[in-house]
Structures are given as structure tokens and as C-alpha cells.
């Protein structure tokens, strides 16, 4: 270990993006590739400085495509790898996000969302990539996405993102936005032993992939990382359990698509985290990310005024917490979904709730802002009139 402190244990007044960078270092990340972009640049700027201090490498690539490709390469070379960008970069990465999924590559992708579409307003936070991160690449697949509401969670959920990526061999998104990325607040970094850090399993041995099952296990196959004599065959063409390309057997195609999806869905209870506080409530506000703080404030206000209002915040947004939503819907009268976009997760939430309770979407006063709690309350009063 070098002179750099790996874990900056202590209390800091820290920008969310820097907390994310520190989370990556704390989780043992030693390879980061990235391309500058507002409002995510601080993540890579910081890591460019910090990584060499802890023995890691930072590569500024020629573009975002090279960023994700080299990060995937690094992951196959055995490193914990991360790349960080914002919407335009996520859009460019889509093809190779699919590659990471199809090859079951552990990878953390930080998306500090900005107001879009397209170039939009780079420094304004708007949770506009909520579905993009899960469905933006072609074909059928499943990723994991975590949504922080504060600089503290920028740290905590980055650590968790690595944990899940390594445990399940899957790309995990930290789905922040400009608002929380640039927000400064108290961040408490614990000691190393308090962090839950996991590294991928690798095969026990054998130098012929035909003797191993390197892919398509719903129980997560050990990962035959490069350079250790595993003679791994890695392709994102349709392949079988050994990783061997197969472009003709429909049964293999079926497994190629389904197994990596089911791998995640089968472990959804371990992956999904939802902050729920709605016992006794008849109205529940469902939200995620920074809007969650508006929701909590609004719920306090509403309760103070005698409205039995609860609160559900999706910390894990993908895999989608369908059962958790169903449970809410079946125990309350009215769900109000708060999103500061035009309602990206709303159809997914509604699909699980509409059978059991009333449900409405409530956007902010102005897109690109998080809702004013007073506004939420006023609108709810109108809705229930």
C-alpha cells in the first residue's frame, strides 16, 4: 500500500461526486476510465488524483465508448472497475453496457444525470435516465440501479454497487443526478471493517472452459478472469455455459437471454432496498433519489396537518421493486408517485398498483427541480377533494 489513505474514515463536508469517488476507493476499485462531462467530472477528476496514491490506474479515454470498453477489459483482467459519466455518455455507452450484461461482467457505472434530452442543461439535475439505464441497450437484459438521495448515500451506495456488481457479475448503476452530485453535505466515512466488501468468485481451476461452467448460471458462475491460465472464451455473441459462441441452437438462445436475467431476479430480495414508512397511512408518496427528500418533508407536513401520509423511497430502482409496490398498493388507498421527470417509472409502478388502489403521478412545479413540499401538499389536497 502506498502513501494514499484508502479509506478516508471520518466526518466531511463533501460534495456528492467526491463521496462517490471515495466510495469507489473504499470498495477496492483499482481501475477507472472516464471521459469528462458535466455534472460527473468531479468523480473522475478526484479519482485521477486518488487512484495512483492507492496503486490504481485512471485512464482518460478518447470518448465514453472507450471508457466503458476499457473498464470492461479491466474487469476481465481481474480488477474492480468503474466508469462515470452523465446522460450523453450513458447513451454512447449503451452498446457496450449490453456487452457487459451479456458477458456477465462486474462493473460500476456512475450516471450523474443532467437535464435532457440531448445536450439539454448540463448542470441541472433531472432524473431523466431512469428507464434508459435499464432498457437503453438493445435486446432483453437486467441490470441493477441504485438511487442516492444525499452525498452520504453517494458514498454508501457506491460501496454497495461494487458489492452487488462483484457478487452477481452484473453492471450496477449509481443513478445520481446533478443535484445530489454537486450537493455538499455531511458525509461520514466509516472504518474499513464496517464496510461490506465483496469480490467476485473465480473458478477453482481447469484450463479448458469446456470442463467448466463459466456463464449462464442463475446461481452466478465463477468468473474465469484473464491471465491466470483459464483459457476463457468470452463473447457477447449468443453463447452456451462454456462461453462458446452458438448462433444456431434456439435452446441456447433462450438460455443466453433468460439466465442472466433470472440470475438477478432470483436474488432480487438481496438486491432490492426500499425505505418504507407507511404504517397506518392511507396515502403513500412513492419516490426515489433526491425527490425522496421532498417527499419526506411533505409527508411530515401532511402528518402535522392530520393527513395519514406515508412514504416509500426506492433505493434500488432496478430490478424493479414490484412486490414492494404491490404490498403498498394493497394496504393503502392512494399512491402518489413523485418524479421530477415526465413520469419515467410511473408506468412500472402503476402496473403493480392499479389493481389495488388509486394512483396518480405528480411532477414538480418546474421540470428539473425537486418538488417543493408545500406544493406536494397543496396538490394532494386537490387530488383527494
Partner 1 sequence: MTRTELTIAGVGGQGSILAGTVLGSAAVTYDGKYAVQTQAYSSELRGGYAATWVVVSDEPVVFPRVTRPDILMAQAQDSINRFSHTLKPDGILIVDSDMVPTPPDNIGHIFRIPATSIARNRLKAPVTANIIMLGALCRVRRVVSREALEKAIVDAVSKEQEQLNLDAFNLGFEAVREPMD
Partner 2 sequence: MSVSAHPFRRYMRNHVTRTTTCPGCGNGIITQAILRAIDELGLDMDDFIFVSGIGCSAWIPSPLFAADTLHTTHGRPIAFATGIKLCLPEKNILVASGDGDLAAIGGNHLIHAARRNIDMTVVLVNNGIYGMTGGQTAPTTPRGLTTITSPHGTLEHTFDICAMVAAAGASYVTRWTTYHPRQMTRSIKKAIVKKGFALVEAISQCPVQFGRAAKLGKAVDMLKHFKENSIRIDKARNLDEEALKGKIVVGEFVDIEKAELASEWARLKQEVMEV
Ligand X SMILES: Cc1ncc(C[n+]2csc(CCOP(=O)(O)OP(=O)(O)O)c2C)c(N)n1
Which stretches of the chain bind a second copy, using CB under 8 A? Answer: 65, 86-88, 90-92, 94-95, 97-99, 101-103, 113-124, 126, 128-129, 131-132, 135-141, 235-238, 247, 250-251, 253-254, 256-258, 261, 341-342, 344, 346-348, 350-351, 353-355, 366-369
Q: Residue 18 — φ and ψ, nearest 5°?
A: -75, -35
Q: Which of residues 111-140 bind partner 2 (CB under 8 A)?
A: 118-119
CB 284 within 8 A of CB 352: no
- Toward partner 1, which CB reaches closer, 297 or 380? 297
What are the grid coordinates assigned to 75, written together? 474487469
Q: What is the length of the chain?
A: 385
Choose from partner 1, a second copy, partner 2, none: what does 355 bind? Cβ within 5-8 Å by kind.
Answer: a second copy
Does position 124 interact with partner 1 (CB under 8 A)? The reply is yes
**Cell numbers for 69:** 470498453
Which is nearer to partner 2, 120 or 190 (by Cβ)?
Answer: 120
Q: Does the protein bind partner 2 through residue 235 (CB under 8 A)?
A: yes
Residues 6+ apart with CB under 8 A from 10: 188, 189
Q: Which residues bind ligand X (CB under 6 A)?
A: 35-37, 64, 88-89, 92
Cα separation values, 142 from 29, 167, 302, 320, Å: 23, 15, 37, 10
173 Cβ contact list (under 8 Å, min separation 6): 108, 109, 110, 111, 133, 143, 144, 145, 146, 161, 318
Candidates 78-86, 160-168, 257-265, 273-281; binding stretch for partner 2 (CB under 8 A):
78-86
Query: Which residue shows C-alpha cell 483482467?
Result: 77
The single residue among 15, 19, 37, 332 that binds partner 2, judged by CB under 8 A, is 37
At 101 the three-state DSSP class reads helix
Stretch that binds partner 2, among 168-176, 223-231, 255-263, 323-331 (CB under 8 A): 223-231
* From partner 2, ligand X, a second copy, none, interface partner of 230 (C-beta below 5 to 8 A by class): partner 2
Q: Near partner 2 by CB under 8 A, which window of 75-83, 141-149, 160-168, 318-326?
A: 75-83
Which residues lie below 8 Å from residue 258, measured CB to CB, with a gap of 6+? none
Each residue 298-337 as x (binds partner 2 by CB under 8 A) or -, in order, gives: ----------------------------------------
Distance CA 16, CA 152 (A): 7
272: left (phi over 0), alpha (psi -120 to 50) or beta: beta
Measured between alpha carbons, how far is 200 from 193 in angstroms, rounded to an integer? 18
**Can you read off the three cell numbers belonging to residue 199?**
469480490
Query: How would you classify the pairing of strands 283-288 and 334-338?
Result: parallel
Size of the site for partner 2 (CB under 8 A): 62
Q: Binding residues for partner 2, per CB under 8 A?
A: 1-4, 30-31, 33, 35-38, 41, 44-45, 48-49, 52-53, 55, 57-66, 69-79, 81, 88, 95-96, 99, 118-119, 208, 210, 226-227, 229-237, 244-245
Amino acid at each position: 500500500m502506498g502513501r494514499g489513505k484508502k479509506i478516508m474514515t471520518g466526518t466531511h463536508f463533501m460534495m456528492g461526486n467526491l463521496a462517490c469517488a471515495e466510495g469507489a476507493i473504499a470498495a477496492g476499485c483499482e481501475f477507472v476510465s472516464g471521459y469528462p462531462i458535466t455534472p460527473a467530472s468531479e468523480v473522475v477528476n478526484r479519482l485521477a488524483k486518488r487512484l495512483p496514491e492507492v496503486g490504481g490506474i485512471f485512464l482518460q479515454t478518447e470518448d465514453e465508448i472507450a471508457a466503458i470498453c476499457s473498464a470492461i477489459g479491466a474487469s476481465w483482467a481481474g480488477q474492480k472497475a468503474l466508469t462515470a459519466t452523465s446522460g450523453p455518455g450513458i447513451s454512447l455507452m449503451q452498446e457496450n453496457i449490453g456487452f457487459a450484461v451479456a458477458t456477465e461482467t462486474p462493473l460500476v457505472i456512475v450516471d450523474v444525470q443532467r437535464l435532457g434530452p440531448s445536450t439539454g442543461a448540463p448542470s441541472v439535475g433531472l432524473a431523466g435516465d431512469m428507464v434508459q439505464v435499464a432498457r437503453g441497450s438493445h435486446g432483453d437484459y437486467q441490470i441493477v440501479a441504485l438511487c442516492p438521495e444525499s452525498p452520504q448515500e453517494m458514498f454508501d451506495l457506491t460501496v454497495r454497487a461494487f458489492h452487488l456488481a462483484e457478487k452477481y457479475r452484473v453492471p450496477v448503476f449509481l443513478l445520481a443526478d446533478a443535484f445530489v452530485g454537486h450537493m455538499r453535505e455531511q458525509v461520514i466515512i466509516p472504518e474499513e471493517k464496517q464496510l461490506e466488501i465483496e469480490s467476485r468468485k473465480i473458478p477453482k481451476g481447469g484450463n479448458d472452459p469446456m470442463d467448466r461452467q463459466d456463464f449462464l448460471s442463475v446461481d452466478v458462475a465463477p468468473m474465469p478472469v484473464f491471465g491466470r491460465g483459464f483459457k476463457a472464451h468470452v463473447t457477447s455473441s449468443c453463447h452456451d455455459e462454456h462461453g462458446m459462441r452458438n448462433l444456431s441452437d434456439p435452446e441456447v438462445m433462450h438460455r443466453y437471454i433468460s439466465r442472466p436475467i433470472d440470475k438477478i431476479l432470483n436474488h432480487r430480495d438481496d438486491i432490492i432496498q426500499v425505505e418504507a414508512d407507511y404504517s397506518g397511512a392511507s396515502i403513500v408518496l412513492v419516490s426515489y433519489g433526491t425527490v425522496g427528500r421532498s417527499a419526506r418533508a411533505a409527508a411530515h407536513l401532511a402528518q402535522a396537518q392530520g393527513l395519514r401520509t406515508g412514504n416509500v423511497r426506492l433505493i434500488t430502482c432496478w430490478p424493479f421493486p414490484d412486490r414492494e409496490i404491490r404490498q403498498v398498493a394493497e394496504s393503502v388507498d392512494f399512491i402518489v408517485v413523485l418524479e421530477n421527470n415526465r413520469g419515467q417509472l410511473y408506468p412500472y409502478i402503476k402496473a403493480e398498483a392499479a389493481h389495488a388502489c388509486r394512483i396518480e403521478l405528480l411532477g414538480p412545479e418546474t421540470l428539473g427541480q425537486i418538488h417543493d413540499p408545500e406544493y406536494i401538499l397543496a396538490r394532494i389536497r386537490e387530488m383527494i377533494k
